[in-house]
Each structure stands twice: as structure tokens, then as C-alpha cells.
Amino acid sequence: MSGKKTEPKEVEAAAAGVVVSQQVTGHLPQNRKLIVIAVVVLLLCIGGATALLLASSNPINTTTTSTCPATVLKQAKPLLTTTINPLQLSKLVGTIQKVKGYDRDASCLYVVTAYYISISDGPDASTYYAKLAKVYRANVGYDSNLKGATMPLSTLKSQVDFLKQQASTQQNLYEGPVVK
């Protein structure tokens, strides 16, 4: 043999930064597999925690607990089930609109929308209906204090659409010549 020392293949490969077992099998060593698994699990945990935080910070009321005071909703119920008295209902709407977060509560928005429909205010009825449709959840419904006093969203929508149609029809009316 030539007087040259040959190092074993393991040493040559290790010096190049590649483990022989990786050369032969093409797989990661056991400790690297564990590290990869741990990183994946950690990322999944972070993703899950983020999703929970986002879900819990959802501003939409998803329970039957209402932002509106129960006394206001109890007073509104008979006004919504009989011929609506706009003067009495307007006082309740004023109270509701002072409640923080009323515009994210389906029960509050129902009363306000019904009021604007009752006074034939198409633009405001449309505005509050849009807010109501955004936050209303059929599986949750309205506050129990309004039970039996509410209409389906489709009925409210048809009433709002009618008011909007009436407003556009009134704008197109010919009122005759202007007399000077």
C-alpha cells in the first residue's frame, strides 16, 4: 500500500457535514425527526390559539343575552304586537340608541328597524335592516323578552324594499307646472 493513510468513510462523510446514515438511507436522523414533529405541533398550537382568540373577540352577539335592557325589550313587545304607536316606540328607540353596542345586538336592532318601518322612513329602515341582517343568527334568535313579537327577516326585508320603492316612486311623480 502507499504510505498514505486513508480515513474511514464515516469520518470523511462527517467532515463534509453529512451523516453516513443519511447517505445510505436518505432519511433524517431520529433527533431531527423529533425536532420537525415538535415544530409542526408548536405551529398547530399557535394557529389554534390564534383562532380561539379571534373567535372570542368576535363583536357580534352570538347568545340570547341582549345588550338592550330587559325592561326596554319588555316595554317594546306590546308595542310591536299591536298597532304600533310611533310616539311610544320612538322613546324606546331613543333609549336603545343610547345603549353602548346596540348596533351589534339583533334584539335592539329589530326594535329600531320596526320603528323606522312603522313611520315609513325607508332610508333609516334600510340602514337598520342591513345592520340587523348582518348580526342576526337564526340559531340564536332574539331575546326571549321579544318572543312572539318578531317577524321573520324576509318579512322585514319585503317591508323595507316596499318603502324604498315608494320613495323612488314619489321622486318620479310629476307635480304639474310651477305657478309663479
Average pLDDT, the chain: 77
Positive or negative CA dihedral for 13, 18, 19, 23? Answer: negative
pLDDT tens-digit map of 61-109: 444 556 888 999 999 999 888 777 788 889 999 999 999 999 999 999 9
Q: Where are the domains of the chain?
A: 20-56, 70-170
Query: Does the pLDDT value for residue 180 go beyond 70?
Result: no
Cα 150 vs. chain centroid, distance in angstroms?
22
Residues in the chain: 180
Query: Does the pLDDT value for residue 176 go beyond 80?
Result: no
Give residue 39's pLDDT.
82
C-alpha cell at 82: 299591536
Residue 139 to residues 64, 73, 74, 167, Cα–Cα distance (Å): 10, 20, 22, 34
40: confidence class by pLDDT, cuts 50, 70, 90: confident
C-alpha cell at 21: 446514515
Positive or negative CA dihedral for 160, 161, 166, 171? Answer: positive
Query: Does the pLDDT value for residue 149 go beyond 70?
Result: yes
Give residue 83's pLDDT.
73
Q: Are 118 and 92 within 8 A, CB to CB?
A: no
